Every structure is written in structure tokens, then in C-alpha cells.
Amino acid sequence: MKFWLVLCLFITPSLLITAQNINLPTEYIRNTISGEKTLPANVQGSPYPTEEFQQGTVNILDKSFTTLVRYNALADAFEIKDPTGEITNLLRRPNITVELNGSDYEIEYFIDDDGNRRQGYFQKLNDGDAVFLKRRGVIKQDALRATNSYGRDKPASLDHYEKYFLKKGDTPAEEVRLKRKDILRQLNNEEVEQFVKKHKFKLKNESEVIQTLEFYNSLNIE
């Protein structure tokens, strides 16, 4: 009897993970994926910040599903792998969020480099009316031929980047650099400026920006 009890304790968690994975609603996944298979073989680099699938949680409305997941920065999509090894894309929907490695990822509206309003995945770094967001992406660099006989051809490559955004209320997120003047200009609040000055923040790292936003949110600014 004791043997079967111990055996169940080891088997049950894996069964739960598998069951949750299978129950992921099919209307929220796409059977085709866009990733390495769509790229020429000679391209250097990877679409994925982390190649390996990791256990995460997909939240859809009021339900949660444990699954293996990884982020495709080139396609701006989360890929999931089911127990059979099949890989599919999780559809980009505002009511879908992903928890991975202790971080929350969700769809947000933002203003891109051309001034257009778009939607994309962001890592949410704090809670409140003013939210600090991180966006990961990939730039495709074309191959370059050597300009002379002494040079070398440069193959096409995928270059990863990270950008930071601030979102206030219901307005689209806007890109912000980790610079004191840029952060303070977007927040536009004298009390926040005094707070930053008091703590001698340079606002060049995530921690200082998050602390500043926590103070900003505590002011209940309308």
C-alpha cells in the first residue's frame, strides 16, 4: 500500500502537467510556426533569446494551463510544445498572458519607430497606473559582400535587442531610454523629480526606474 502511495506522489504531478497541456483551447493556437525553419540556412543567430522550451503558464481569461513554452523574438510570438513534441504558436490576443521564469508577458499597444500604433508582447516589470515594460526583438541584417580582396563577406544575421517602454493609464506605451532626463520627461511630475534627486537615482537600471514608478503610482495622479 505504501509503495503505491509513493508511486502516485511521483506520477501525479507529471499527469497534471500533461493534462493541462492537452486542454489548452485549440482556438488560441496556430498549427503553423514561424522560426528557424523559415530562415535561410546560412543566417547566423537564432530567433529565440533562449532556444530550450521551459515550463511556463499560459493564462486565458480565468483559466491557467501549464505547458512548455519559449519566446520567438523574430515572430513576436510564444511557441508551445505539447507532450507529443508538436510545436505550435500561441495566438496574440489581449486576453492571453504568459508566465515564464517568474516574469509576466502580455500584449500591449505601443508606438513603434515610425509613429504607428501596434500590438506586441512585453515583459511587465511592475504594477500600477504607470507601467515599465521591456520588449525583446530581432533585427535581420542582410548579407554584405567584401568591398575588396582583403575583406571578408559578412553573412546575414539575426541581432537581438531590448527596448524599454513606459505606459501610463490607457495610453499606448512609448519607448524610453534608461536615462534620467528621458524618464522624468515622460513622468512629468515635480514630486517624482524630488524623489529621484533625494535618492540620487541616475535611472540607468531597471531597479531604480521601478522604484521611481512605485513612488509615482503611490501619488494617485489622475
The pLDDT tens digits for 13-24 are 433 333 344 456
Task: Domain ranges for the chain, please list them.
Answer: 2-175, 177-222
Q: Around Cβ 34, how many Cβ atoms within 10 Å? A: 16
Q: Is 1's pLDDT higher than 60? A: no
For residues 137 and 160, what is the distance between their CA atoms, to the nearest angstrom?
6
Residue with cell 520627461: 185
Each residue's pLDDT tens digit, 110-163: 999 999 999 999 999 999 999 999 999 998 888 777 677 676 777 788 999 999
| Cα 97 from Cα 43, distance rounded (Å) | 31
Work out the percent of the chain whose per-residue pLDDT is above 90.
Answer: 61
- pLDDT surpassing 80 at residue 26: no
pTM, rounded to two decimals:
0.80
Which pLDDT belongs to residue 25? 61
Element (H, E) at 78: strand 77-81
Instruction: Say which amino acid occupies 205.
Output: N
Confidence of residue 216 (pLDDT cuts 50, 70, 90): very high
SS3 of residue 119 by DSSP:
strand
CB of 26 within 8 A of CB of 86? Answer: no
**CA-wise closest residue to 71 among 26, 41, 111, 101:** 101
Beta bridge partners of 2: none
Least confident span in 30-44, 151-165, 173-187 = 30-44
What are 189-208's pLDDT values in tens digits? 999 999 999 999 999 999 99
Per the model's pLDDT, the better-predicted residue between 107 and 153 turns out to be: 107
Please answer whether residues 82 and 23 qualify as being in contact, where contact means their C-beta atoms are separated by less than 8 angstroms. Answer: no
